[in-house]
Amino acid sequence: MSETLLRCEGLTRRWGGLVAVDGVSLDFALGQVHAVIGTNGAGKSTLINMLSGEIPPSAGTVALMGEDVTGWTQPRRARAGLGRSYQRNTIFPNFSVLENCRLAAQATYQHPWAWWQAASRCERSLGAAREASARAGLNDALDRPAGLLSHGQKRQLEIAMCLATSPKVLLLDEPLAGMGAEETERMLALLSELRAGHATLLVEHDMDAVFRIADWITVMVNGAVIASARPESIRNDPAVQAAYLGGH
Amino acid sequence: MTGMPWGKQAFVAAAALALAVLPLLTGSFGIDLVTKIMIFAILALSLELLVGMTGLVCFGQAALFGLAGYAAVRLSPESDSASMWWLLPACIGVSGLYALFMGALSLRTKGVYFIMVTLAFAQMAYYVVHDTPLGGGTDGIYLYFKPTLAIGIWTIVDLDKPLPFYYLVLVCLLGVFAKLALLARSRFGRALAGIHANEQRMRAAGYSTYPYKLAAFVVSGCIAGLAGFLFAVKDGFVNPELLSWHQSGAVLIMIILGGLGHLRGAVLGAFAFTLLQELFQSEAVFGPFAKHWHLSLGLIIIAGVALLPNGLIGLPALVRQRLFGESK
């Protein structure tokens, strides 16, 4: 077992009487793509939001690289190496592709008091931005306004902005949503390339993609984990088949 | 975003030059009017930093403006003139501190609540100067001795004379404009633009957005304070109307009329708004109808906002589009 970068224990979120996430304990290890699957409303997004720090948990803890970060804000966790992408596109549509990535990269070198220095000449953030957009396959579109990209390219940009902050852990919320076959292939190639240097949490509805790329799969139903194992065991797990896969 | 940097620079240089030679062409009425407009332009620029650059619609800018004006009068000795070297920083400090207090609390809210909370803080300051001995009541208070700007016995600018004061205000306006233009392209400014576009994404990238917004609020308060100081010195008089919500509204209209998201728009809007106001108030032009200037000004602003969705700054592009069918 390789090094665990992100771990949650007994993570619970209640909204009034509803338990959205119920005592979830999971490990995310370096070099692994850990997929979390489940029907709509199973609590996957709430789980991601608690891990990233957007929603405080009702109970339970989150540890990032061995340190308890449960009380940390989202920006602080992000600076400590927790990157996330969103299900909906959250790019800056009026900025160029490069500026989207540069602004994300600037988070690691903020220096806001140096107001006489032009951001567009900030070599540190530019370097990270160029590298991230190249990795995400956006080299040809650097100067285009992000709002004019195709849907697939916007999803790539989401990942590039995430990478630009040099995270150790990637929380990816449905990176394949709405993508065509070719775009899906490209994204999967990118995800397997990123596998080695990161601990990746992948929330995804596309089951073929999940079973192709995941090293570990966790299945959630009604906020609770009903199975967490290697893909081949998940595929044959009768409880999972009954609850979710429907004989996939 | 890309625009045309050469056109922009040429426009700003031409406008600065025009303002510099204007006093040679106009009489004392013109100098007085343009001095007032330039002070409002500084105030409009301070609000543009919040509304246009950061996306924070502040409805209390007049408080930051008026408090510095009151500070200029109250801090000056009663029978002597103060030195601007300490009086100006003190007045800016008063507005900056009130902005820190106002921003620290109001930035915990968002959207329409933010608008209401900033308005409430401004009204609070308004009633302090209106109803306490500190402010001198409805009638306002006079500044009997204008501050001096001197090194030793050598007076750099005689603030009592309209023409030197005009150039002092022009230098302040150009300085604030340059400062904000630099700020906009800096890392700080880009982070504010990101917060404007999508604050949640900025937090996910690792920006603690609250300190950024608070810093923008305080810088804006200091610039509004500079404008307030100049206004008090210009007229030698302050009254509670400087802090009223009408004044906050007028500044908002200036930057919307000029074109949000552009520093030039704020300056343009200050000129357009004040000149329109003067025009509709003029009995020489409108006769007895001039006393209904609120109505005519309101109608023209409604028409302006309806016909120019991007403000005056978007007018050339709109004309080009109409005439040549050029699309953006």
Residue A87 lies in a domain: no
Residue A194 lies in a domain: yes
CB A24 within 8 A of CB A42: no
Q: Do B1 and A145 touch (CB under 8 A)?
A: yes
Residue A86 lies in a domain: no
Do A173 and A162 lie in a common domain?
no
Q: Do A76 and B204 touch (CB under 8 A)?
A: no
Give strand ranges (E) for chain B. 141-142, 149-151, 154-157, 237-238
Do A158 and A217 lie in a common domain?
no
Amino acid identity of A168? Answer: K
The sheet that has A67-68: what strands, in order across it? A18-29, A4-15, A59-64, A67-68
pLDDT above 80: residue A243: no
Do A161 and A173 lie in a common domain?
no
Complex confidence, ipTM: 0.92
In which domain, by residue range, is A27 found?
1-81+167-248
DSSP A110: -
CB A225 within 8 A of CB A219: yes
Amino acid identity of B60? Answer: G
Judged on CB neighbours under 10 Å (0-12, 13-18, 19+), B32 is middle
Chain B, nearest residue to A120 by Cα:
B185
Residue A105 lies in a domain: yes
d(CA B84, CA A175): 59
Do A238 and A200 lie in a common domain?
yes
The predicted pLDDT at position B327 comes to: 55
Distance from CA of A181 to the nearest CA of B (A): 28
List the structure tokens of A155. Answer: 């999803």
Q: Do A104 and B209 touch (CB under 8 A)?
A: no
pLDDT by residue (tens digit) across A84-135?
Answer: 999 888 899 999 999 999 999 999 999 999 999 999 999 999 999 999 999 9
In chain A, how many domains are there? 2
CB A132 within 8 A of CB A160: yes
Do A106 and A222 lie in a common domain?
no
Do A181 and A60 lie in a common domain?
yes
Do A53 and A100 lie in a common domain?
no
List the structure tokens of B25. Answer: 């062409």
Interface of A with B in 44-73 (CB under 8 A): 52, 54, 73
Chain A, nearest residue to B180 by Cα:
A115
* Residue A127: Cβ within 10 Å count: 12
Residue A235 lies in a domain: yes
Per-residue b/e over B211-236, b at no fewer than 16 CB within 10 Å?
Answer: ebbbbbbbbbbbbbbbbbbbbbbbbe
What is the residue-wise DSSP string for B7-63?
HHHHHHHHHHHHHHHHHHHS-HHHHHHHHHHHHHHHHHHHHHIIIIII----S-HHH
Do A196 and A246 lie in a common domain?
yes
Do A178 and A224 lie in a common domain?
yes
Distance from CA of A239 to the nearest CA of B (A): 35
Do A25 and A140 lie in a common domain?
no
d(CA B178, CA B77): 33
B263: Cα within 13 Å, side-chain hemisphere:
22
Question: Is 0.80 topped by the overall pTM?
Answer: yes
* Residue A21: Cβ within 10 Å count: 30
* Residue B75: Cβ within 10 Å count: 14
Mean local confidence (pLDDT), A135-141: 92
Query: Which residue of A75, A108, A118 is in closest CB contact with B185?
Result: A118
Which residues, in sequence order, are CB contacts of B134 under 8 Å at separation 6+? Answer: B74, B128
d(CA B307, CA B315): 9
Distance from CA of B215 to the nearest CA of A (A): 10
pLDDT by residue (tens digit) across A213-237?
Answer: 999 999 999 999 999 999 999 988 8
Residue A248 lies in a domain: yes
Do A241 and A196 lie in a common domain?
yes
Last residue of a domain, one of A166, A201, A221: A166
* Residue B188: Cβ within 10 Å count: 24
Last residue of a domain, one of A166, A200, A229: A166
CB B180 within 8 A of CB B263: yes
B interface residues, A as partner, C-beta within 8 Å:
1, 182-183, 185-191, 193-194, 197-198, 200-209, 212, 215
Do A110 and A182 lie in a common domain?
no
pLDDT above 90: residue A41: no
The predicted pLDDT at position A248 comes to: 46
Residue numbers in A near B193 (CB within 8 A): 95
Q: What angle do CA B229, B235, B239 make, to 5 degrees?
A: 75
Interface of A with B in 214-233 (CB under 8 A): none
Distances from the Cα of B64 to the Cα of B88, B97, B177, B219, angstroms: 14, 9, 18, 11
Round the CA-based radius of gyration of chain A to a whole number and report it: 18
Amino acid identity of B14? Answer: A
Q: Do B205 and A90 touch (CB under 8 A)?
A: no
Residue numbers in B near A103 (CB within 8 A): 190-191, 194, 202, 205
Residue A64 lies in a domain: yes
d(CA B176, CA B43): 10
d(CA B295, CA B291): 9
The predicted pLDDT at position B41 comes to: 98
Round the CA-based radius of gyration of chain B to a whole number and report it: 20
The predicted pLDDT at position B194 comes to: 97
Q: Do B215 and A112 touch (CB under 8 A)?
A: yes
Amino acid identity of B142? Answer: Y
Q: Do A94 and B191 touch (CB under 8 A)?
A: no
Residue A144 lies in a domain: yes
d(CA A30, CA A35): 14
* Residue A224 backbone dihedrals phi, psi, to 5 degrees: -115, 155
pLDDT along chain B (328 residues), means of 10: 67 94 92 97 98 96 97 91 93 98 96 96 94 84 90 87 95 97 96 96 96 98 98 94 95 95 96 94 87 90 89 89 72
Last residue of a domain, one of A122, A146, A166: A166
d(CA B87, CA A205): 65
The predicted pLDDT at position A1 comes to: 54
Query: What is the pLDDT confidence band of residue A195, given thresholds at 50, 70 and 90?
Result: very high
pLDDT above 50: residue A247: no
Mean local confidence (pLDDT), A129-147: 94
